Structure 1
Amino acid sequence: MRIQKECLYCGKELMGRTDKKYCDLHCKSAYQYQKTKERPERFYNKVDNQLRLNRKLLKAYNKAGTSIVRAQVLLDLGFDPRFFTHYWKNKKSDIYLFVYEFGYLKKTENGKEKYIMVTWQDYMG
């Protein structure tokens, strides 16, 4: 008695073991990939992906260790300021949000929102 007659991915008739599900490794891999893509993205993956993107953007726009960029530039590239790993409060009570070693502080100057970007320093610990 055969339980499965056809490959789950391509539909070809299966030969061999009675519990076989795929005709070859390519079909098995393709089927698993297809199933993974159909599942909704897990919350952890969403957070991790956003943190990676935020870090990449902060690193790209902060080559000198300290810089200022208009907020809209980063936001247009997918930056989401709600995702950060930790914060640091300076002596003026400004709170810098950090994504790993790259930090930012939102300021409004002349009606334009900007991010002051810094790189983590030993004295911040």
Structure 2
Amino acid sequence: MNEIKCKICSKLLVGRNDKLFCSVKCKNYYHVNLRKVTDKEVKELDTILHRNRSILLEVLGKRKGQITVERVVLEKKRFSFKYHTHLYVNSKGKTYYYVYDFAWMEFSNDAILIIRKEK
């Protein structure tokens, strides 16, 4: 018979065969530490995504629709092109990168099209 041990303290588990922890204390310890690690990683990514969104909002301003700017404009503001929330490929094969409700598409001549998605 397989002996199953607690993920935290390695005590032999008694009871159900799908049990992972020997006590509520070990279970809580595991989940609290998992959350700490996850929160740190997520916070760093979320900061970058929010900065990217703020930059796109600043460049687009109060205009409705879209604007085309040079790539340098976004780079000077420390826009991180590799971070986005999702992407969309249209029927012509063009890729739109999204940061929440903003999208950008890169052209071959270093021009960037910025679009704000309507609600």
- Note whether the superposition's TM-score is higher than 0.5: yes
In the alignment, structure 1 residue 117 sits paired with structure 2 residue 78: no
Query: 1:105 is paired with a residue of what secondary structure?
Result: strand
Aligned mates of 1:117, 1:67 — CA distance in 2: 5
Aligned mates of 1:59, 1:69 — CA distance in 2: 13
Instruction: Read off the aligned partner of 1:43 and give its amino acid letter.
Output: E
Kindly state the Cα deviation for residue 120 of structure 1 after the two structures are TM-superposed. 2.0
CA RMSD of aligned residues (A): 1.8
Between structure 1 and structure 2, the one with the greater Rg is 1
Aligned pairs for 1:67-106 within 5 A: 67-106=67-106
Compute the TM-score of the two structures, normalised by the length of structure 1.
0.57
Kindly state the Cα deviation for residue 61 of structure 1 after the two structures are TM-superposed. 1.5
Aligned mates of 2:65, 2:49 — CA distance in 1: 19
Compute the TM-score of the two structures, normalised by the length of structure 2.
0.60
Aligned mates of 1:119, 1:91 — CA distance in 2: 19
Aligned mates of 2:75, 2:41 — CA distance in 1: 21
Which ranges in structure 1 are unaligned for 5 or more consecutive residues?
1-41
Alignment length (residue pairs): 79
Q: Which residue among 35, 41, 44 is the counterpart of 1:43?
A: 41
Which ranges in structure 2 are unaligned for 5 or more consecutive residues?
1-39
Kindly state the Cα deviation for residue 43 of structure 1 after the two structures are TM-superposed. 2.4
Please identify runs of 4+ aligned residues in structure 1 that moved more than 3 A. Answer: none
Aligned mates of 1:53, 1:96 — CA distance in 2: 18
Kindly state the Cα deviation for residue 60 of structure 1 after the two structures are TM-superposed. 1.6
What is the identity percentage for the equivalent residue pairs of Structure 1 and Structure 2? 23
